[in-house]
Chains A and B, each alone.
Chain A
Amino acid sequence: MSASSTIPLAPATSIGANSFWRRALRHRSFVLGTVLCLLVLGAALLSLVWTPWSAYDIDVLSKLKPPSASHWLGTDVFGRDIVSLLLVGARATILVGIIAVGIGLSFGVSLGLTAAARRGWTEELIMRMSDFTFAFPAVLSAIMLAAVFGPGMVTSITAIGIFQIPVFVRVVRGSAGAIWAREFVLAARACGKGRFRITVEHVLPNVMSVLIVQATIQFALAILAEAALSYLGLGTQPPTPSWGRMLNEAQSLLFQAPMLAVYPGMAIAIAVLGLNLLGDGLRDLLDPRLSRER
């Protein structure tokens, strides 16, 4: 054939998982983000099988102890072990993040894809509805929902989840719309594919990278929102430990025991930072244009 055939073809294996992980390991913020996220995940998993002390037992005699060999980070105002509280609190954080982002993803993605595929009044309706939802600040709406349905984890997760939906609708509609305008979609239609198949086989895979990145960022926002709601007393209810509630309880003792506020604050910061770095890393790694250069 012509000169074009002399372009070397990389072995098929370098395309798949291998090259992704090789590039990933060289990506600093991806590695750091992954480590931080695994730290939080590990803490939550560890708390299921082991904590240094019970996170629920109150021991007023040993309250507000400084760090020691038995209580590594000291105890809180009820004498509970801080390390144990942080470990168990990670569960609430991850649970809220996963469920809320799950709600946002499943509804947001299907609505966004539908809007991009159907156009016309369907798109108008979906987009105006998501604008309407988007117009309310999430935390404020969560407070409203908590006022109506009573505070608690379910209410806060639902509220945070609902207000994730329009973010995903917009992101997906935008990128899916761009994919629909691409020639390979026209080519796919010329091959006889219907709207649904094109959406599933061509549009969704191509918006996936944007989606994953957005999901990690939304995960971080959900964690912040949960912490804020718990801090306000509308999220996780006592005695279930949560980082936001720990902050709330530490507030009144800010001058006697400032470290009580620092520990959960650090934990939240680590989780959010980890997710943001992970999202950044994924955005770089999943961009086909960047991967092609290597």
Chain B
Amino acid sequence: MSKSNDTPLIAVEGLGISLNTSRGRAQAVREVSFALRRGETLGLVGESGCGKSITALALMGLLPDSAIVSGSVRLDGGELVGLTEPDYCRLRGNRISMIFQEPMTALNPMHTIGRQVAEPLRRHKKLSAAEARREAIALLDRVGLPDAAKRVDAYPHQLSGGQRQRVTIAMALACQPDVLIADEPTTALDVTIQRQILDLIADLVEERGMAMILISHDLGVIAENVQRMMVMYGGTVVERGTTAQVFSRMGHPYTQGLFRARPRLGAGKGTRLTTIAGTVPELADLPKGCTFADRCSFVIERCRAALPVAIDVGGDHRVRCIRTDVSMAGAVAEAGA
């Protein structure tokens, strides 16, 4: 979109989220900061339980009441943290929208898809039933649901998974939001459909000049669909930069581990995937220092002392590791070998 100004559309600073778990308070997310302008896309990568989805829910204001959010989330300069529920309701689906992982369950089985797509329009844009229906058909058509005019009265169970995800996208985009959060939008879909859905989202983001946050555990999806990315681990951003920077010079041992754990075509038969030793730490008892220390092969005593600061390894490509000299040298050596 041509309308670009200097204040970012969404700016997150020092976001921290503490959750009430069965094992007591847990600091699920620490010191997450980023800013997005119109048309910009950001990827969030990490294993399950690393805080990606929690971060997304915090932006939407959908965390459980017991969650404590610190830091700041600004939408067009307006603070979202601490906003009252009715005020947040006016933003959700209107200026900031979300696409969920499971299209099978993200639609209400009791309502027609047309009604569900029309709902935000009636609510936020105050359209009449007939106008909303016409708009819903147009939206369903835009997201590529074949025969939209007829299927507007279909129920979710009459559609395939890919079609349902198209419907949830239509729902999320109904009111032309400024910010779109896509939380693993293709994880539940067939690989062949995945590509179509991601292309559709990319087209829509470009067409409407939205800012998008794409959450995925799939490095391939991230590499192809976003301009910048953040790698999360144990509730902190361990590495961030443009997608090209991160993929070409992976600085954090965790990012390198993630990359090595990808299945690759052409690998010899019977080759086992490389795994990262150990498991994701419990959020309730995160280590005091670097959250990755227990699984890292470059760990030294100093890693466990305090959470490392993110250091710039060139061109605003930041890595939260004190041993980048060793880890990145290894990466370079590996790439050369």
Contact = CB atoms under 8 A, between A and B. Distances in A.
Say if A and B assemble together.
yes
Interface in B50-86: 60, 62, 65, 85-86
Contacts of A192: 89-94, 120, 123-124
Contacts of A7: 158-160
B172 A190 contact: yes
Contacts of B282: none
Contacts of A27: none
Given A120-B65, A192-B120, A4 B110 contact: no
B233 interface: no
A15 B111 CA distance: 11
Q: How large is the interface on A (under 10, 10 to 19, 20 to 34, 35 or more residues)?
A: 20 to 34
B257 interface: no
B105 interface: yes
A5 B192 CA distance: 13
Contacts of B168: 187
Interface string B84-126: 0110011111100110111001111111000000011001100
B61 to A, nearest CB: 9
B161 interface: yes
A128 interface: no
Contact of A5 (B106, B108, B146, B158): B146
Interface stretch (A38-46, A68-76, A138-146, A178-186): A178-186
A67 interface: no
A9 B62 contact: no
Interface string A87-129: 0000000000000000000000000000000011000000000
Given A2-B196, A9-B150, A182-B105, A190 B158 contact: no
Most chain B CB atoms below 10 A, which of A1, A184, A201, A292: A184
Contact of A191 (B123, B144, B159, B163): B123
B92 A288 contact: no
Contacts of B91: 192
Nearest to A15: B155
Contacts of B146: 1, 5
17 contacts: A4-B193, A9-B147, A9-B151, A9-B154, A182-B105, A183-B101, A183-B106, A184-B108, A184-B109, A187-B106, A188-B108, A191-B97, A191-B123, A192-B91, A192-B123, A193-B123, A205-B111
Interface of A: 1-5, 7, 9-10, 12, 15, 119-120, 182-184, 186-194, 201-202, 205-206, 288, 292
Given A186-B62, A193-B93, 7 more contacts: A3-B192, A4-B161, A9-B154, A183-B101, A183-B105, A187-B106, A192-B91
